[in-house]
A and B are shown apart, each in its own frame.
Chain A
Amino acid sequence: MNSRTLAALALLAATVSLPGPVRAAESMDNCEGYIDALPATVSTPGVWCLRKDLSTAQAAGAAITLAASDITLDCNGYKVGGLAAGASTDAVGVYANGHGNLAVRGCTVRGFRTGIKLNGRRTLVERNRLDANTEVGIRVEGDMTIVRGNMVNDTGGRPDAWTATAIMAPQQSHVIGNDIQGVQPTGTGNAYGIDLQRGIVRGNRVGGLLPGADGDAMGIRASQALIVRNTLIQRPAGEGMGISGELGGIVCRDNVVVGYAQPQIQCHDVVEGSP
């Protein structure tokens, strides 16, 4: 048995032995109601589902409004589309204001000014796909929120927007294991991968930030935060900051930062003792 075979077997054995994700087919069993047309407002707690792709041409308001606490929106992989409203749209894909214990999962949200915008405590945004939203991919406001396992692609393009941001979490949040590719404002300002205040940012992968002429690329901008084991790749290499702690109080560890003029600024990263 040569070294190549041994290496392949080792890789296979390691992969099999690791606790892998379950990839079952989608089920509707736990859906208590369905959203079959847009715009829609959900005002009853429970698990609400999509069972087909939905689109809207509305240029304002929200495609889906979560108007009560304790709602789970499970799109089962289906699309909430807003591309028809054009790049100047003011519409939001999934929206809630002032409600807690919400969860949004399994949604493909495409072509809105903000893809998912939730204001409330203890919200969960997981395993969604955000495509071509014109200013912000995901924005969560409220303590104790979690944003994990989402894919946020090609954010930007709104004509009058100075900046574009894939994930914004301005209050206490954990942002974990998200994939961000492509953030490009139309204006002259900054392109942000993750913009967070007070929280934990771990295991995210960020690439493809293209700022405006007077702006910077910032893979992660944070204050009062732990920034750990993120991968930030900027191609082509150029200006900008991989991790910016200019607002204060951040700790960085084991991040991989490639292609930024400044890999990290104002970030405490001392490892104490021999690991």
Chain B
Amino acid sequence: MIRRRLIGLLLCTAVASGTFSMPAAAAESYDNCKGYIESLPSTITTPGVWCLRGNLTTMMTDGAAIRLGANNVTLDCNGFGITSQHGLDTVVGVRADAVVNVTVRHCRLAAFGTGILLAGDNAVVEDNALHQAMVAGIRTIGDGNVVRRNRVLDTGALLYGVDTWGIDATGQGTRVIDNDVQGVSGSGTAVGLRIQNGVAANNRISDIRPMDGAAVGIRLSGTVAIDNLILQTAIGAAGTGVAGDAGATSLCRSNVIAGFTTAISDCTAVGNTTHP
């Protein structure tokens, strides 16, 4: 019995300490690339792994820099960046509409209106860095999507009255896991993570700093929020750490929330640690 308990404790400790959740350790390889994206804009219409092998920039004023136009497409940027030179809110970095089983990974996207916008089921968005998106870093719309291990930094521009989101994920069974969201601003409501009908686990969100509107760490509806760390470091920015929807039951468990005027609202709260 003692041995069994010890093994259980070791497993729990390993999981809790992040032993099993570190990102890939090696530099990128092109071995599994089916083809390459060399210029923008670009549309992928054939399933497979499509890669970048250099940084790309675009002067587009609307549309998408890369469009995933088929099911079962993986875009692997191999750590390279895609930058919008104009910094307009009408340009999307990577976009997919009505396709399934797409993956976007290892991309650095800077200064788009929305960095990654995927509409379709079973999408994976992982290990990307989103810098200075004007409206949203990552948006997914569809069932069974997974958003994990991304860095979403410095989201939001001073577009009058526009709400901004670090990550916005909607759909049954959506999972948003182990992301870092740092710095969300804007003149409307600034939200670190918005999620509906899914699970938000082990995300780290800090520095939500709207100019005029409210700050929200996580806005959720019909969702389980567990083990998230939410810190408001912006001086004088009122807001809510986790804001639920009164019409859809959500569960908030084991989250740590500090610096907001309201820690949790409209969410069944169990075992959280909060501090004003």
Chain A residues near B (Cβ < 8 Å): 3-4, 7, 10-11, 14-15, 18-32, 45-47, 49, 70, 72, 74, 76, 101, 106, 121-122, 124, 126-127, 143-144, 146, 148-149, 172, 174, 176-177, 198-200, 202-203, 205, 224-226, 228-229, 231, 249, 251, 253-254, 268-275
Taking CB atoms, residues of chain B closer than 8 Å to A70 are 55, 81, 110
- Count of chain B residues with Cβ under 8 Å from any Cβ of A? 56
Q: Give the shortest distance, in Å, between B149 (CB) and chain A (any CB).
A: 10
Nearest residue in A to B1 (C-beta to C-beta)? A3
B229→A101 contact, CB < 8 A: no
Interface flags, B229-272, vs A, CB<8A=1, else 0: 10101000000000000000000011010110000000001111
Q: Which of B25-33, B62-70, B86-94, B114-122 makes up part of the contact surface?
A: B25-33
Q: How far apart are the CA atoms of A268 and B183 in the complex, in Å?
A: 24
List 9 contacting pairs A-B, 8 Å CB cutoff, sorted by A: A22-B24, A22-B25, A29-B30, A49-B27, A76-B27, A124-B151, A176-B180, A229-B16, A271-B272
B61 at the interface (CB under 8 A from A): no
Contacts A200-B229, A251-B273; A3 near B3 (Cβ below 8 A): yes
Secondary structure at the A interface, as helix, strand, loop or mixed, is loop
A-B CB contacts (within 8 Å), total count: 179
> How far apart are A50's CB and chain B's nearest CB, in angstroms?
10
The answer for the CA separation of A254 and B18 in the assembled complex, in Å, is: 13
Asked if B159 CB lies within 8 Å of chain A CBs, one says no
For window 54-100 of B, CB contacts with A under 8 Å fall at 54-55, 78-81
10 additional contacts, CB 8 Å, given A23-B26, A143-B207?
A: A10-B7, A11-B11, A18-B20, A25-B26, A29-B27, A32-B54, A76-B27, A199-B233, A251-B258, A271-B273
Are A254 and B20 in contact (CB-based, < 8 A)? no
- Docked pose: A268 CA to B7 CA in angstroms: 31
For A174, give its contact among B28, B182, B258 (CB under 8 Å): B182
Contact partners of B233 in chain A: CB under 8 A: 172, 198-199, 224
